[in-house]
Structure 1
Amino acid sequence: MLHKNTLLFAGLSAAFLSVTATNASAAVVASLKPLGFVAAAIADGVTETQVLLPDGASEHDYSLRPSDVKRLQNADLVVWIGPEMEAFMQKSAQKVPDAHKVTISELSGVKPLLMKGSDDDEDEHEHAHAEGEKSDEHHHHGEYNMHLWLSPEIARLSAVAIHDKLVELMPQSRAKLDANLKDFEAKLASTDEQVGRELAPVKGKGYFVFHDAYGYYEKHYGLTPLGHFTVNPEIQPGAQRLHEIRTELVEQKATCVFAEPQFRPAVVEAVARGTSVRMGTLDPLGMNIQLGKASYSQFLSQLANQYASCLKGD
């Protein structure tokens, strides 16, 4: 009899441990690091924030691992842009109840701020089909530019939405969440002013970016991009596109061309070679920034430094 009771106790203990382990892994789970920056500032001191997309990976071609699916299932709150950006987590995100999810592209305050996306590489999409690569559906971002985390205004609206959901889920932490949101908004406002001052001297200088990700940031700070190599970084730009960019560089319309840490395309170097154009790097995901209370502000400042140093020629 004792043996049976011991087994029963062991079984109950194991079940209890597995439940607590599952609960312990619950957290705010953000799809991309810059969304993690915003979420971490709001959840600071209340719950942990985790990011799905690993550093060095691209949101354009990532595939969820079984452990990622588990994290999404166990999350207190899932924060993502929406199916047009993170196609890699669309199925898993659909299974998360609305009470435990913030879909930034669908926030009522965000919808009027959406910018139209570029679709000038459709011929390259078709070429990818011909080569039997991943389907266009996998790549296409739809009608709008979905790199919403690059808008300070949308980041603030996202922070408010994350705060409101966490207050519903964890009402006992309301005072801390309120204070965190207030801190985030104050820090964002001062960083926004500082970045505006830093970028003011380079407003009229033309440049090319590697992929069409930066529209919200550029519009907000009044920068003057001449264009981009590709809409989707998984697809190399066609010969005609490269010839057009090369012509503009030779005619000295651009001061700078920017690559990205996730994509070090030889194509950018080849096009800039033999011209007086400088090469810079823009990091649209803040790869080297740690999650913390001030990380979104650090992210905005880091991008400003990356733009300014190349455009000024420091």
Structure 2
Amino acid sequence: MSTSLGRGLACSALAIAAASTAPAEVPRVATDIAPVHGLAARVMDGLGTPDLVVTPGASPHEYAMRPSEARALQEADAVFWIGAELEPWLEESIGALATDARVVELLDVEGITTLEFREGATFEGHDHEHGDDAGHDHDHDAGDHPGHEDEAEGDHAHAEDDHADGDHGSDHAEGAAHVESQGDGAHADHAVDEDHDHAGHSHEGIDPHAWLDPGNAGIWLDVIAEELSALDPENAQTYRDNAAAGREEIAAAVADVEETLSAAGGVGFVVFHDAYHYFENRFGISAAGAISLSDASDPSPARIEEVQETIRDLGVACIYSEPQFSQSLVATVSDGTEARAAVIDPLGFELETGPGFYPALIRSIGESIAGCASS
């Protein structure tokens, strides 16, 4: 056998061996909002990065997807989203585009805490309910979420969003709901009268802002890990280890927030819209009311007057606005009162996406509330 032939056979053998030991392809994952993206990114840390469908800073209640975001759904092996209660428009898009994906609606996961929407402009007298006491015990087929433990700790994590734009287009994109065919910008919400639903988004029944309970996030980490393990058994241990580490990181964030809020003492506050019920419930605080019914509607004059009366009657110290919305409403409501204005954000618009997003989100909300209370 010639030397060159021997070298050729050796190279071929090495190539075959390398191919046989090549790592399995990591599943493509699409997520709806930044908090869910953060949880998925924590589970996938070191292996891959999920795609984010709703641009940070945009309202998830009504959104026009970019073509690249529609492709992310079409190419996904798994889709994790809060559910139609938060994003009614996304249900149709997932059905049209993510036809081959495992789809997990997180509000339907067994064992999480769910809370009802609070009614009216002011919240005094509302009971805080947690876990099974909340009256929402979600049942689901165990096969849909393999290995999920109901007793998961109250922890959770957030993820990094590097959005890869593929070269191939979507066969369904032209016909799918809410795909923006020209340009790459997400459109803003249009204000509507608060007595009407906005784009099908009802403010009755289950409050969908469930990601602001760290206990829910901890459960979701395990669900994401098990779904990805089923798709990618070779990396199953990594997914599970990452989920466990994410729960520990969230637990540390929860402890920090508890200490921060305890040091700040009690404070009466009003929020821009009622997005923080889960956070309040978890940390034993309570908003006095909300300026707007939702982030997609303008409050009526009667609602503004009712909130102003509550601020004066209860001696409310802080009014929390959100960075992506007009501050003029906050100024109007605070006029003639002693309340101070501060900013909190349930979606973490200004936070860096990635595996550490979720603990940072929980800490940022706690610090904002405490900061206004102590100023």
Give the TM bin, normalised by the shorter chain. 0.7 to 0.9
| Equivalent in the alignment of 1:89 | 90
Q: CA deviation at 1:35?
A: 0.8
Distance in 1 (CA, whole Å) between partners of 2:203 and 2:28 is 28
The SS at the match of 2:288 is strand
| Equivalent in the alignment of 1:42 | 43
- Decide whether the 8 Å contact of 2:74 with 2:99 is kept in 1: no
Letter in 1 for 2:317: T
Q: CA deviation at 1:103?
A: 0.9
**Selected match of 2:232 from 170, 173, 180:** 170
| Equivalent in the alignment of 2:200 | 138
Distance in 2 (CA, whole Å) between partners of 1:230 and 1:220 is 22
Letter in 1 for 2:347: L
Is there any run of 5+ residues in structure 1 with no aligned partner, and where? 1-23, 122-126
Is there any run of 5+ residues in structure 2 with no aligned partner, and where? 1-24, 122-191
Distance in 2 (CA, whole Å) between partners of 1:82 and 1:302 is 25
Which structure ranks higher in relative contact order (CA pairs < 8 Å, sequence separation ≥ 6)? 2
Distance in 2 (CA, whole Å) between partners of 1:31 and 1:274 is 40
**For the structure 1 residues 162 and 312, does the alpha-carbon distance in structure 2 shift closer, same or farther, using more than 3 Å as the test?**
same
Residues matched between the structures, number = 280
**For the structure 1 residues 55 and 129, does the alpha-carbon distance in structure 2 shift closer, same or farther, using more than 3 Å as the test?**
closer
Q: Deviations over 1:224-258 (max 9, x none)?
A: 21011122122111111111111222345201001
**For the structure 1 residues 135 and 181, does the alpha-carbon distance in structure 2 shift closer, same or farther, using more than 3 Å as the test?**
closer
| Equivalent in the alignment of 1:20 | none
Distance in 1 (CA, whole Å) between partners of 2:266 and 2:48 is 43
Q: CA deviation at 1:202?
A: 4.2
Distance in 2 (CA, whole Å) between partners of 1:141 and 1:158 is 24
Q: Does 1:299 align with 2:299?
A: no
- Which shows bigger deviation, 244-253 or 302-311? 244-253
| Equivalent in the alignment of 1:206 | 268
Letter in 1 for 2:117: G
| Equivalent in the alignment of 2:56 | 55
| Equivalent in the alignment of 2:71 | 70
Distance in 2 (CA, whole Å) between partners of 1:203 and 1:78 is 41
- Decide whether the 8 Å contact of 1:204 with 1:224 is kept in 2: no
| Equivalent in the alignment of 1:117 | 117
Letter in 2 for 1:225: A
Alignment of structure 1 residues 227-246 onto 2, 5 Å: 227-246=289-308
Distance in 1 (CA, whole Å) between partners of 2:358 and 2:299 is 31
**For the structure 1 residues 298 and 243, does the alpha-carbon distance in structure 2 shift closer, same or farther, using more than 3 Å as the test?**
same
| Equivalent in the alignment of 2:334 | 272
Distance in 2 (CA, whole Å) between partners of 1:208 and 1:281 is 11
TM score, norm. by length of structure 1: 0.83
- Decide whether the 8 Å contact of 1:256 with 1:311 is kept in 2: yes
- Decide whether the 8 Å contact of 2:275 with 2:346 is kept in 1: yes
| Equivalent in the alignment of 2:102 | 100
| Equivalent in the alignment of 1:124 | none
Distance in 2 (CA, whole Å) between partners of 1:135 and 1:210 is 18
**For the structure 1 residues 104 and 209, does the alpha-carbon distance in structure 2 shift closer, same or farther, using more than 3 Å as the test?**
same
Q: Deviations over 1:259-283 (max 9, x none)?
A: 0012124111111123221101111
Distance in 1 (CA, whole Å) between partners of 2:194 and 2:111 is 36
**For the structure 1 residues 166 and 282, does the alpha-carbon distance in structure 2 shift closer, same or farther, using more than 3 Å as the test?**
same
Q: Deviations over 1:2-41 (max 9, x none)?
A: xxxxxxxxxxxxxxxxxxxxxx997321100011111110
- Decide whether the 8 Å contact of 2:26 with 2:48 is kept in 1: no
Letter in 2 for 1:161: V
| Equivalent in the alignment of 2:245 | 183
Letter in 2 for 1:80: W
Distance in 2 (CA, whole Å) between partners of 1:273 and 1:141 is 27
**For the structure 1 residues 72 and 149, does the alpha-carbon distance in structure 2 shift closer, same or farther, using more than 3 Å as the test?**
same
**For the structure 1 residues 176 and 258, does the alpha-carbon distance in structure 2 shift closer, same or farther, using more than 3 Å as the test?**
same
**For the structure 1 residues 65 and 88, does the alpha-carbon distance in structure 2 shift closer, same or farther, using more than 3 Å as the test?**
farther
Q: Does 1:128 align with 2:193?
A: yes
Distance in 1 (CA, whole Å) between partners of 2:235 and 2:261 is 38
Distance in 2 (CA, whole Å) between partners of 1:172 and 1:239 is 59
Distance in 2 (CA, whole Å) between partners of 1:78 and 1:43 is 14
**For the structure 1 residues 208 and 173, does the alpha-carbon distance in structure 2 shift closer, same or farther, using more than 3 Å as the test?**
same
- Decide whether the 8 Å contact of 2:82 with 2:106 is kept in 1: yes
Q: How large is the Cα RMSD of the aligned pairs? A: 2.3
